[in-house]
Structures are given as structure tokens and as C-alpha cells.
Amino acid sequence: MDRIVLWTLLLTFSGSQASRPWAQRNTEFAMDLYQATCLSHKNNIIISPLGTTLALGMIHLGAKGKAQQQIRQTLKFQETATGEEFSVLKSFFSAISEKKQEFTFSLANALYLQEGFTVKEQYLHGNKEFFQSAIKLVDFQNAKACAETISTWVESKTDGKIKDMFSGEEFGPLTRLVLVNAIYFKGDWKQRFRKEDTQLMNFTQKDGVAVKVPMMKALLRTKYGYFSESSMNCQVLELPYKDDEFSLIIILPAEDVNIEEMEKLITAHQILQWFSEMQEEEVKISLPRFKVEQKLDFKQALYSLNITEIFSGGCDLSGITDSSEVYVSQVMQKVFFEINEDGSEAASSTGIHTPVIMSLSQNQFIANHPFLFIMKNNPTESILFMGRVTNPDTQKMKGRDLDSL
């Protein structure tokens, strides 16, 4: 039986208006996917709802019957003609490609086809139109060569940050079609963190153990809110990137709030409400440098969200090929996300850093225990990345790096 493999490869190196219904549906899916992923991951987590939407969308274009219905319901698509659901994404990518002065955002999709395997022209056309997908022919019987070919493409699309992504073990004799998307983002902070202000401070991990981490510090005027709801007291902070196209949202539970219990209770409505109700205030910020890198198999999470049909031999993917024995074997995602001071603007820039001589901040945002983060596109409120930090990565903080703080 032939197999289709979906790979989502996403990388963001950070710190270096669509309609409300779209934002609501997008955020609902992001929360569903995140909460499903949390069931099997207890420590740091990073996912890309956008990348998963793209991967499932590429299958949705060729799915029929129950397979299409399950994807449509999970992605919160409205009952419109196939393809119209992606018009917002298509407009988003077009707009972003025209605004690259202040940040780097690149999206690349590719369909790798087994030589001699027939895919319908309409399906290929749809992928080109909505996802700008490149079509490439390979021989999956030579698994090692295929792995090297696709890994080289991924490396080129992620500025060399993701290397050797595939091994020959990912492809088998029944592999016929591999769908890959790679997202790369690099943005500068709108308001900077100065490296000289970074200090080693204690970060209390989920297990109660305190570890020393490099804590970035700044006194900024930015959007902030304190929200008190049943069992969910938290601070929410927005850190915009230059040009205000993208923002990083940090959700910091109160110290006596269990982050895993909070994750179970958060709804898309609450997140959107927090976004809208935050006010510009002066905030004294302490935020750790952190790095989260993860390779996830989403099959279990998608099963829990009722996407099951595409993984079975009897699924209807007749919009892709006339072959009656094609199914999806994997939905994999790799994400790299890093926050540090390198995204700050140069010291010569004006109006960026709030001088310490200003009045003392009434708001203290000290992220010295586990927190959630969301990276979103502001015009559409699309969630690109979402995750949890229970232990900031300190692997790079050795020797001279520690001595320099």
C-alpha cells in the first residue's frame, strides 16, 4: 500500500486584518493542537499551528468524503468551496513577502513524488496556487539519496539552521509522496534588550529545582495585562518585533498556579480576549534566554482531534491520485525556536531603550518559573508558534559565556 509522508519543518530565530472569525478559528485549532500535544509531553514544548494547518491543508485539497470532513472540522473550516479556506493564508503570505525590510520570513512548500507515480494535475495546480509548492521527482527506493536531497533543500530554506533533517529510515519502499513545508523567521525586537543588562538568576523548574539561567532585563513601555480568573491568575506581556508585523506573547502564571492545570483550562476565547485587553504600560521585565527544539510525530495528537481517516488504508485521497491504496503514514514537525538579545536594534537607534532614570515601574514581570509563549502575526492574529518553557536551555552558557555575564 502506498504511503504519503507529511513533514513540517519550521525554524524561528527570534530576538535576533483578516476577519475576527478567521482569528477565532485559527486560535481554536491552535489551542486544540497544543492541548492534545501536552498530553504526551511534560517538559518544554514547541509546535507550529500554522505549519500544521499547511500540512493538513495540502492533504485536504486532495481528500474526499470522511477524510476531508475530519480535516475540515478539526481546522474549523467553514462550509465553503475547497480552496477558499486558504485565501486568507494566501493573502497573508503575499503581504508578508512585500514587507521584508524589518524581518526575514520565508515559507517554502514542496511535494516530492516517486518517479512514475501519477498525481492529478488539478491537485498539483491547487498546491501551486495556494501553497506555492514546488514539484520534485525522486526515487524513494534509494532512501539515503532522497534523504540527502530533501535535507539539502530544507537547509537552504532555513538559512542553514536545520541540517541533516532526514535519514534514509524515514522513507520506505511504499513511500510515494512526501509533502514538506519549511518556515524560517528572523526578527529584531522593536524595543531592545541590552546584553550588558543580562544577569544570571534563579529559574525554578516545574519540579521545584532552581537553576541559574541568563535573565535578560529591560524597562519597557509595552502592552501588558494581569488577568485573574478561576484557577488562572496570570500576567500577559507582548514583545513586538520591528515593523509591528509580529509579536511574542509571554503568558506567565502566578507562582502558585500549576502550569499544566492552567493549560487544560485556557480557551481560544480567553487568549483573544487577553490580546485585546492588554494596555500599554511601563513594565520592568526579566525574561530568560531560551531555546526550544523539538521533532514531533503528530499522529497521536491528530487522532485525539478526530483526524483518523487519512491514516487508514481505506481513506479517499482520490483528489491526489487514482490509486486506491494511498494513505498518510506520518505527520512530522520539527521546530527550532530561540529567544535572546541578538534581535535587539543597534545602540545607535533612537527612541528604543527606555532610560532607567524614568519613574520606577509599577509592573514587575519576572519570568523565573515555567511560562507559555505565543508568536503571532498581528494583522491576521494567526498563531505561528506556541509552546511552553519549563527549563530554559543553558547548554550554550558555558565557560566564557557565563563569565561574560
Report residue 396 as a C-alpha cell.
Answer: 550554550
* Residue 274: predicted pLDDT: 93
Q: Count Cβ atoms below 10 Å from residue 396 Cβ, excluding itself.
A: 12
pLDDT of the residue at 82: 54
pLDDT at res. 26: 87
pLDDT at 360: 42
pTM: 0.85
> How many angstroms separate the most distant Cα atoms in the chain?
71
Indicate whether 314 pLDDT > 60. Answer: yes
Domains identified in the chain and CATH numbers: 2-187+291-337 (3.30.497.10), 195-287+354-403 (2.30.39.10)
Report whether 253 contacts 259 (CB < 8 A).
yes
Strands (E), 228-325: 234-240, 246-253, 279-288, 290-297
State the average pLDDT over residues 232-259: 91
Report how far Cα 162 is from the mean position of its chain's Cα atoms. 15
Is the pLDDT score of 4 beyond 60? no
| Helix, strand or coil, per DSSP, at residue 3 | strand
At 48 the pLDDT is 87
pLDDT of the residue at 366:
95
Beta bridge partners of 223: 280
Residue closest to 93 by CA, chosen among 132, 138, 146: 132
For the cut 60, the answer to whether the pLDDT of residue 28 exceeds it is: yes
- β-strand 134-138 against 103-114: which pairing, if any? parallel
Residue 376 main-chain phi, psi, to 5 deg:
-130, 155
What cell numbers appear for 117 in the block?
507515480
Q: Is the pLDDT of residue 166 over 60?
A: yes
AA identity, residue 157: K
Q: What is the mean pLDDT of residues 361-372?
A: 88
Lowest mean per-residue pLDDT among 32-41, 131-140, 205-214, 305-314: 131-140
**Range with the lowest mean pLDDT among 15-19, 187-191, 389-393?**
15-19
For residue 354, is pLDDT > 60? Answer: no
Q: What DSSP designation does 205 have?
A: -
Query: Is the pLDDT at 65 greater than 80, yes or no?
Result: yes
Mean pLDDT value across residues 59-80: 87
- Amino acid identity of residue 65, one-letter, is G
- CA 220, CA 223: separation in Å to the nearest integer? 9
Least confident of 64-78, 80-94, 282-296, 325-339: 80-94
**CA atoms of 100 and 191, how far apart (whole Å):** 18
Reported as a pLDDT band with limits 50, 70 and 90, residue 168 is confident
pLDDT of residue 97: 63
Higher pLDDT residue, 15 or 69?
69
HSE-up of residue 59 (Cα within 13 Å, Cβ side): 38
- Mean per-residue pLDDT for 306-319? 88
Number of H helices, E strands in the chain: 10, 15
244 in Cβ contact with 378 (< 8 Å) = yes
Q: What percent of the chain has pLDDT over 90?
A: 29
What's the rounded Cα separation, in Å, for the pair 380 and 143? Answer: 40
- Please list, in sequence order, all residues whose beta carbon lies within 8 angstroms of the beta carbon of residue 63, skipping any fewer than 6 positions away: 71, 310, 315, 316, 317, 319, 320
Position with higher pLDDT, 339 vs 98:
339
DSSP secondary structure code for residue 77 in this structure = -
Euclidean distance between CA atoms 215 and 220, whole angstroms? 15
In angstroms, the CA 35 to CA 30 distance is: 9
Identify which of 189, 188, 183, 135 has the alpha carbon closest to the alpha carbon of residue 161. 183
> What would the mean pLDDT of 357-380 be, rounded to a whole number?
79
- Position with higher pLDDT, 223 vs 403: 223
Q: For 303-331, what is the mean pLDDT? A: 85
Q: pLDDT value at position 361?
A: 40
Distances 193 to 61, 201, 203, 239 between C-alpha atoms, Å? 44, 16, 19, 11
| Mean pLDDT over each residue of the chain, to the nearest integer | 80
Q: What residues have CB less than 8 Å from 333, skipping those under 6 apart?
A: 7, 8, 9, 10, 47, 48, 51, 52, 55, 295, 296, 298
Quick one: cell of 235?
500576567
Residue with more model confidence, 302 or 185:
302
Average pLDDT over residues 261-271: 91
**CB of 49 closer than 8 Å to CB of 384:** yes
Q: Can you tell me the mean pLDDT for 323-330?
A: 78
For residue 184, what pLDDT is reported?
75
Residues of the chain above pLDDT 70, percent: 80
Is 213:130 a contact under the CB 8 Å cutoff?
no
Q: Residue 17: its pLDDT value, please?
A: 42
Tell me what pLDDT residue 186 has: 77
Q: What is the 3-state composition of the chain as percent helix, strand, coil, each rounded to the nearest 5?
A: 30, 35, 35
Q: Lowest-pLDDT range, 6-10, 24-28, 124-128, 177-181?
A: 6-10
**In this predicted structure, what is the pLDDT of residue 226?**
93
